[in-house]
Amino acid sequence: MIKVAAIAESINIMGKRSGTAMKERNPGPVQEMAKEESAAGASYLDLNIGPARKDGIELMPWIVQTVEAASSVPLCLDTTNTDAMAAGFKVVKNREAAIMNSISAQPERMEKLIPVAAEAGCNVIALLWGPEGMPRDSNERCAMAVDLMMALAEAGIPNEKMLFDPIGTPITLGADQIASGLEFMSMLQEIAPGAGSTVGLSNVSNGVAEHLRKYLDRTYLIMLMKYGITTAIVNAYDAELMAICKGERQELVDMVHNMMDGNDPDSAGLTGTALEHYKTYKVLSGQNVFSESWLTL
């Protein structure tokens, strides 16, 4: 049975329910969502305040304390505002169990955030995004991973506290980058023994019609599981996705992993969820060209 720790993504400044509550400093809706995501089986609650340029150093501590009053699930602090990130970690109760989302391979972000992470003793998402943006292939991902690992290690952060994010890319841009990310995942333990990994699943379905996104996210997670993904940033309100995280869909996992090994089942004998994963894998692997009618073809 393969399990993945779910980082619930929905407490987000861009969300209608949570975003309005954050802006109004209304704890009720945020705490309700924290309880709902915790009950769904989330291993972490991601608190995403975005860039929060004007009020980040006040908003992040507020959201941390608001959620901690409602749930004991460890937190994942998510912002591009380095000062807000530092302010948030000053008030987190269980800092060693928390996650910093994220430190990218950009000098200014590494310089500001690595000391904060080292002092907190928290886990760190090491985002493979460099000064020139996204890596072009698995080799560039590996090079960025080494740079990040060495900088984190120099600050006293062990590999076991690192969660490398190869960056999921929208299927609308093609399957090449998805394949490169998977190839990097297959090499991660050679680069950083003992390190963990994560990915924002919804990135792969970004730009796709809302009612279709869940199918891409679910199958993409299963593909990552073949290479030992340890955590994933997920929609905890998707019960089927959470079931996959909990190891409750092993027959589907086995089917997709067999396909990744070149052993396809007879599609004529597939129905329901199995057929959905079969067709979605064909698209995500680049064997079939993506279109929004992929499930009905």
Residues 102-137 have pLDDT tens digits of 999 999 999 999 999 999 999 999 999 999 999 999
pLDDT band at 162 (very low <50, low <70, confident <90, very high): very high
Residues 145-169 have a mean pLDDT of 98
Question: Can you tell me whether residue 34 is helix, strand or coil?
Answer: helix
Nearest to 183 by CA among 117, 139, 129: 139
pLDDT of residue 52: 95
pLDDT of residue 212: 98
pLDDT of residue 172: 97
Q: Which residue ranges form the domains of the chain, and what is each CATH number?
A: 5-248 (3.20.20.20)
pLDDT band at 225 (very low <50, low <70, confident <90, very high): very high
Neighbours of 28 (CB within 10 A): 11
Residue 130 per-residue DSSP state: B
Q: What span, in angstroms and rounded, lies between the C-alpha atoms of 196 and 293?
A: 35
Residue 157 per-residue DSSP state: -
Q: How far is CA 110 from CA 11, 15, 67, in A?
A: 25, 28, 27
Token pair listed for 41: 């089986």
Q: What is the pTM assigned to this prediction?
A: 0.98
